């Protein structure tokens, strides 16, 4: 039996809404005791001085991408789980846009077997089942079969513009009691837009993607949710008007949750000035007023969770002109330190607000029980040193890809351990 005592660690627990310094005793994978000071220490206990360290529930990612199966040079399941662990995540949820896509029980079983073959101390891999199974996104998968195969819910990696199909999906999902997640984007409106339309897109000379491409699609989805009342998650919210639409829908009692990604909380269109291809994202970074609205929405509970949307691509794929680069950036190992330093250390977010958006709320969006730091619970925890510095380079990253605008920079804040 393993026994660990974390002495005088700062414990952040969103469930009890507490932020305190305490001793935490962990025995054989369970939390044995949490107290101001634990003096009755069992024999053979490993004692660790955790002054200046932060202990919180394990982080939960709502949606990210893997290369495997199909593009193992970008990321394997093993490297994805290692990157997640290094970033403090104890649960990660894989989007179905692999090759072949996760649109049938056989692919689900293949991924589950890969997880069984990996180190048991790595995070839990949840799997989104695909909503559609053809290239055009016009044919619905066998949702019940995927549910029985063990998927956590249903999503597509891309936007669905066939509203009749979306309505039918919402009706079919009602009895399955599994979450459904949609990225809202009208591709007829977005057209060939590369960055969010506005003054910066004109200045940087890149085709603009109007905010209406997202907001019109969200408005349409909300109308369908109102008619079916199927619980729905809205992914990748990126504009000020989207936050307003979601706030109004929640005030009317619609069964929706929503998330934005960590990079949309930290950066806006002004960052695209560098033309760094890791800033070509889907959806594009918002204008400054969009970023501030997303932060407000997160603080006020209009938006429920921060997703990582980890999107690995090889050096060759990203070393092209900005407009030709595939959209996406890695983030599992970078999100917590950058969010902490830019939002918590500045006083804009409390530690509880940030940790809740990265742990408790994402679990609840997946209809899962969140981790709780109380005696008797399983130890699903993240230990974080907000003052440790490290350099972002290919030697320090566990991901096989390094497509990030922070490559080569020194960051402050590093995860020093997880319990899964």
Q: What is the pLDDT of residue 115?
A: 81
**pLDDT tens-digit readout, 66-92:** 999 999 999 999 999 999 999 999 999
Q: Residue 130: which pLDDT band, with cuts at 50, 70 and 90? A: very high
**pLDDT tens-digit readout, 7-38:** 999 999 999 999 999 999 999 999 999 999 99
For the record, the structure tokens of 241 come out as 């008007």
For the record, the structure tokens of 269 come out as 């269109």
Taking 80 as the threshold, does the pLDDT of residue 356 lie above it?
yes
Instruction: List phi, psi (to 5°) of 35.
Output: -150, 160
Taking 90 as the threshold, does the pLDDT of residue 136 lie above it?
no
Query: What span, in angstroms and rounded, lies between the C-alpha atoms of 410 and 389?
Result: 7
Instruction: List phi, psi (to 5°) of 39.
Output: -100, -25
299 neighbors 315 (Cβ within 8 angstroms): no
223 neighbors 292 (Cβ within 8 angstroms): no
CATH class given for the domain over 58-365:
alpha beta
Instruction: Write down the domain spans for the chain.
Output: 3-54+377-393+409-419, 58-365
**Taken in order 345, 124, 85, 312, is the CA torsion positive or negative?**
negative
Q: What is the pLDDT of residue 137?
A: 67
Q: What is the pLDDT of residue 119?
A: 63
165 neighbors 172 (Cβ within 8 angstroms): no
Terminal CA-to-CA distance of the chain, rounded, Å?
Answer: 16
Q: Which residue's entry shows tokens 């407009």?
A: 323
Q: What is the pLDDT of residue 138?
A: 78
List alpha helices for 143-198, DSSP H. Answer: 143-149, 163-173, 187-190
Taking Cα atoms as reference points, which of 247, 229, 180, 236 lies closest to residue 213?
Answer: 236
Q: Residue 135: which pLDDT band, with cuts at 50, 70 and 90? A: low
Query: What span, in angstroms and rounded, lies between the C-alpha atoms of 408 and 402?
Result: 10
Q: State the architecture of 3-54+377-393+409-419 in CATH terms.
A: Roll (2.30)
Q: What is the pLDDT of residue 26?
A: 97
Q: Which residues are catalytic?
A: 309
Q: Which residue's entry shows tokens 């053809």?
A: 134
Other CB atoms within 10 Å distance of the CB of residue 145: 14
3-state per-residue secondary structure call for 334-365: CHHHHHHHHHHCCCCCCHHHHHHHHHHHHHHH
């Amino acid at each position: 039996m393993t026994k660990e005592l974390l002495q005088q660690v700062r414990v952040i627990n969103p469930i009890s809404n507490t932020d305190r310094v305490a001793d935490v005793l962990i025995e054989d994978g369970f939390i044995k005791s949490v107290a101001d000071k634990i003096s009755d220490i069992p024999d053979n206990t490993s004692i660790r001085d955790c002054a200046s360290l932060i202990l919180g529930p394990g982080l939960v990612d709502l949606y990210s991408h893997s290369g495997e199966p199909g593009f193992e040079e970008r990321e394997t399941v093993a490297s994805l789980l290692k990157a997640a662990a290094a970033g403090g995540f104890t649960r990660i949820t894989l989007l179905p846009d692999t090759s072949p896509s996760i649109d049938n029980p056989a692919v689900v079983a293949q991924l589950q077997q890969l997880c069984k073959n990996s180190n048991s101390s790595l995070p839990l891999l949840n799997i989104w089942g695909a909503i559609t199974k053809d290239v055009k996104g016009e044919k619905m998968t066998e949702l019940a079969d995927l549910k029985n195969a063990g998927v956590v819910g249903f999503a597509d990696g891309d936007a669905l513009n066939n509203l009749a199909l979306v309505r039918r999906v919402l009706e079919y999902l009602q009895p399955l009691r599994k979450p459904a997640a949609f990225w809202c984007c009208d591709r007829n409106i977005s057209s060939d837009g590369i960055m969010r339309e506005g003054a910066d897109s004109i200045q940087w000379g890149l085709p603009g993607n109007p905010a209406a491409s997202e907001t019109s699609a969200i408005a349409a989805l909300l109308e369908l949710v109102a008619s079916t009342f199927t619980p729905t998650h809205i992914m990748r919210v990126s504009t000020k008007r989207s936050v307003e639409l979601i706030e109004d829908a929640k005030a009317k009692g619609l069964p929706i949750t929503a998330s934005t990604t960590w990079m949309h909380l930290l950066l806006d269109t002004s960052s695209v000035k560098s033309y760094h291809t890791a800033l070509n994202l889907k959806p594009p970074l918002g204008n400054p007023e969009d970023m501030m609205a997303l932060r407000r929405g997160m603080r006020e509970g209009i938006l429920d969770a921060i997703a990582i949307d980890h999107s690995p691509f090889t050096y060759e794929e990203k070393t092209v002109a900005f407009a030709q680069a595939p959209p996406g950036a890695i983030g599992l190992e970078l999100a917590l330190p950058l969010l902490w330093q830019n939002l918590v250390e500045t006083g804009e977010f409390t530690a509880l607000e940030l940790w809740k958006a990265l742990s408790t709320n994402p679990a609840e969006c997946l209809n899962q029980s969140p981790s709780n730091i109380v005696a008797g619970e399983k130890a699903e925890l993240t230990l974080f040193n907000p003052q440790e510095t490290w350099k972002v380079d290919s030697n320090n990253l566990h991901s096989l890809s390094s497509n990030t605008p922070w490559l080569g920079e020194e960051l402050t804040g590093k995860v020093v351990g997880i319990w899964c």
